[in-house]
Structure 1
Amino acid sequence: MGEISRSWWLLLIRGLAAIVFGILALIWPGITLLVLVIFFGVYALISGLFELFAGFRHGERPRAWLIISGIIGILAGIVAFLWPGITSLALLYLVAFWAIFTGVSEIVAGVHLRKVIDNEWMFIVGGILSVIFGVLLLVWPGAGMLSLVWLIGVFAILYGIAMIALSFRVKNFTQGAGTP
């Protein structure tokens, strides 16, 4: 528990960052969606180029897999720039599955944290919100990509509030336990 309690401020920063991101997404939904697609495209292109380079440069690794992975990354980056609509739909599904898997892991972590801290429920609430968010994205993908950005914004704010509440709970536990 000492490690968790000493890093309470990391949960606080994580919560504050989520709230700021959520507010910006709500203020500029169109820009947020375009930026997400562009960031993904740039990342996929750069990652693909480096994997391709590594595939041709390093003979001791399984070169074929690096080369194939690099080509797929480069193609994904090009698709993101040429067809941002398809890319944003793919990102919708990626975000949905990420939210579900992250939420489930946070629920499990919250249950384990409850064994250490009495009445600890904020981490579990964050996980439940994450799972609900992911499921809603899967159920209604046709609601529009801008709706995704609004959902991301609201989710980020609610999630940030849950993480901030958790950080203060962990900090108070630290002070109450007399740990530095």
Structure 2
Amino acid sequence: MDTDVSWKFLVVRGVIGIVFGILAVVWPISTATALMVLWGVWVLADGIGALVQASRPESAGTRLGSVVLGVAALIAAFFAIFSPQVAAETLTWIVGIWLILRGLFEAIVAFSTRLPGPRWLVLLSAVLSILLGVFFVANPGRGAVGIAVLLGIIALTWGVVYVVAGLLTRRELAEAASRR
């Protein structure tokens, strides 16, 4: 790749990240809705693929699993595409349950095994997982919006990093060219 193009590519990626990040933070509900619809389209394709796989003769041993997976994916895709808010809330609820279970498991591990590092860090992680999980389960709508805002902040941050990296790369290339 031409070095002149590489720094420009970094800057463009960064600007796209910044724009997406700002939009996600300013319109988190729309962002969560759009992400659910996109996820629904992907799950639809995955479900169709699983059903096609189930119809092939070489999948005789895994046919039932592929059919179940395909049908489940089609149902999930239907809800994600035609009712994205409900899908986002449901997914947030599932993530909340997972976080609670993860936190409980981490707490058990912290007390029942020998850890190479400080035990309090594992306990802190457990408490944070449980608290975040309880928040998601108790407030799935706000949790989905929170995830969209967090995604926006991450995209915005990475966007700034890419723009800075691109501009620094440009400066280094200019300095190297002037030394020649």
- Which band: TM-score by shorter chain? 0.5 to 0.7
Q: What aligned pairs does 1:123-162 form with structure 2 within 5 A after superposition? A: 123-141=122-140, 145-150=141-146
Match of 2:90 in 1: 90
TM-score by length of 2: 0.56
Q: Does the CA-based 8 Å contact 2:92-2:136 persist in structure 1?
A: yes
C-alpha distance after superposition, 1:14-69 (max 9, x if no partner): xxxxxxxxxx5983523542344134313422321221122111342142342232
Alpha carbons of structure 1 residues 122 and 65: separation in structure 2 relative to 1, 3 Å? same
Residue 106 (structure 2) aligns with: 106
Q: CA RMSD in A?
A: 3.1
TM-score, normalised via structure 1 length: 0.56
Q: 1:81 offset after TM fit, Å?
A: 0.9
Is the Cα contact below 8 Å between 2:103 and 2:130 reproduced in 1?
A: yes
Quick check: which has more Rg, 1 or 2? 2
Q: How far 1:80 sits from its partner (Å)?
A: 0.8
Q: What 5-or-longer segments of structure 1 have no aligned partner?
A: 1-23, 158-180
Runs of 4+ in 1 over 6 A off after TM superposition: none
Cα 1:77/1:118, change in 2 over 3 Å: closer
* Structure 2 portions without partners, runs of 5+: 1-20, 154-180
Per the TM alignment, residue 133 of structure 1 is displaced from its structure 2 partner at its CA by 1.4
Identical counterparts, % of pairs: 22
> Would you say the 8 A contact 1:55–1:64 is kept in 2?
yes
